[in-house]
Amino acid sequence: MAHVPDACVIGVDLGGTKLLAGAVDADLTVHHRAHRSSRGTTQAELLDIVVEAVTEVRDVVETEVAAVGFGIPCLIDQRRGMAVMAVNLPIQDVPFRDLMAERLGLPVFVDNDANVAALVEQRHGAARGADDVVMLTLGTGIGGGLVLAGEVYRGSVGAAAELGHMVVQADGPRCQGACPNHGCLEAMASGTALAREARQAAAAHPTSGLGRALAAGQEITGPLVTELAHDGDRVARDVLAEIGGWLGVGIASYVNIFNPAVVVLGGAVLQAGDLIMEPARKTVAERALRPSRDLVRIVPARFGPESGMLGAATLAMDGLGRRAPV
């Protein structure tokens, strides 16, 4: 019979296209998961979806829920628990912490999604034991999290580490959503950028696997590009290599600025594995400065697509004053 803990927390990873909520105990075991789409909603609808997913988990899990932690791709004002602005979600100036606490009747803790992913990867995952860590989450956009001297770095009010919005090509494509900039790393190396570049490559190479998929009316998505690349399609592999190269340009700057021991890469785009990781590592080796470039490890997240949810749960445990055991 499975062990049922005395209490758990709910971690919620709210992404630009999907939501994952899970009941998590002190051993980081997940006892129930709820999935929802967050694509194409209004702010009010999105908040309702969040409450619905948390309520589902709370109703199903056979134990007390002590708190809820949220990781959201948003600029956070930690002084007020305010979700100030999200690039890829309809969230603006929402008193998220207090609103969710009122609607759920539970203690609520909120932070940027990549911050919480960095927290759990540094504490228990791919960067365990390292005091200085850069985390990038590659999905619809690119989230960034920093652990410096063993602590999550949030800046003066909590809005720091928007690493996806460092400009890597000043005259590059317009960034997406609410970002006013051009040529951000997010515009060059996110899942959205991958799909854009793949559509252009498919049109330019109609006899390739990508080209045939486009002609057949298939939607050109990151997972399709990855599938075709793993099947040997050269054009798909070239697109992933280009995305990996731009990712490496960004990482080289983070390596120079922060001198991290580990750079952790997570998110759905990393399903491409070494087809993106190796071009990124090669670019860092060419562009970053010694000694940082020779010491840094660039690794995939241990917890994969669940880093954000488990990180949000870890945030809630920390907020309650009881960290998960190491």
Mean pLDDT of 185-214: 96
Rg (CA), the chain: 19
Mean pLDDT of 192-209: 96
According to the CATH classification, is domain 7-117+306-319 in 3.40.1190.20?
A: no
* pLDDT at 322 (0 to 100): 54
Measured distance CA(24)–CA(245) in Å, rounded: 36
Q: Where are the domains of the chain?
A: 7-117+306-319, 129-301
The sign of the torsion formed by the CA atoms of 167, 170, 175, 181 equals positive
Measured distance CA(19)–CA(35) in Å, rounded: 6
Measured distance CA(244)–CA(194) in Å, rounded: 10
Question: What is the residue type of 250?
Answer: G
326: nearest Cα among 5, 14, 28: 28
pLDDT in tens, 7-66: 899 999 998 788 999 999 999 999 999 999 888 788 899 999 999 999 999 999 988 999
The reported pTM is: 0.87
Domain 7-117+306-319 shares a fold with domain 129-301: yes
Of these ranges, 71-75, 154-158, 221-225, the one predicted with the greatest mean pLDDT is: 221-225
Average pLDDT, the chain: 91
176 near 189, Cβ under 8 Å?
Answer: no
Fold of the domain built from segment(s) 129-301: Nucleotidyltransferase; domain 5 (3.30.420)
